Amino acid sequence: MKLELKHLAPYLPYLLTIRVYRANESLFVEDLVLNGEILDYLFENSHQRNNSMNIYKPILRPLSDITKEIEVNGERFIPAAKLKSMVYEFDNIKISFVIVDGIGGRYIAWQANNDRTNRPVPYQFYEKLYEWHFDIFGLIDAGLAVDINTVKF
């Protein structure tokens, strides 16, 4: 697996930070906010990247943080609690989120109570995960992204 445009494009509206490791400068690390100009540079020069020693990795949250309190734009909240209202409207239902590896690829589903039926989440759910910089594509596990919990800003 390699970092591709399809992995970064959904985060563009949400000021995703990328970490640039520059090996030609002794342990120099720089964080940049991803925008269209930087994205163009990264992928237009990808053929040169193999020859250069620069490494670019987005800074993302692991999906395991969905049940932990996080802070986004000064607001502290538990993502699962906010997302629950997007998939079901009754308070007496216990919702759990699961990651499913299906024929078409990996996706997120929800289950009610102890019923193991996977129900699809609405697209707005994914938009929130992108906005909160969750790693939807498994980039952290693949070594292509940095876990935000390990970063000191």
Taking only the tens place, the pLDDT of each residue in 20-34 is: 776 655 444 556 666
pLDDT(86) > 80: no
Q: For the chain, how many residues are written?
A: 153
Domain-wise residue ranges, the chain? 5-61+135-150, 64-131
Pick the more confident residue, 67 or 107: 67
Residues 58, 103: contact at Cβ < 8 Å? Answer: no
Tokens of 40: 């163009």
At residue 145, the pLDDT reads: 92
Tokens of 87: 């998939």
- Report the percentage of the chain scoring pLDDT > 70: 73
How many angstroms separate the CA atoms of 149 and 120, rounded? 28
User: What is the end-to-end Cα distance of the chain in Å, rounded?
Assistant: 28
pLDDT(134) > 90: yes
At residue 77, the pLDDT reads: 94
Per-residue pLDDT, averaged over 129-135, amounts to: 94
pLDDT(49) > 50: no
Strands laid side by side in the 105-112 sheet: 95-102, 105-112, 119-120
Question: What is the per-residue DSSP string for 89-121?
Answer: --TTSPEEEEEEEETTEEEEEEEETT----EEP
pLDDT(4) > 50: yes
pLDDT category at 90 given cuts 50, 70, 90 is low
Residues 145, 133: contact at Cβ < 8 Å? Answer: no
Please count the helices (runs of H) and the strands (runs of E) in the chain.
5, 9
Pick the more confident residue, 68 or 108: 68
How many angstroms separate the CA atoms of 93 and 69, rounded? 21
How many angstroms separate the CA atoms of 26 and 67, rounded? 38
At residue 42, the pLDDT reads: 66
At residue 122, the pLDDT reads: 81
How many angstroms separate the CA atoms of 55 and 120, rounded? 35
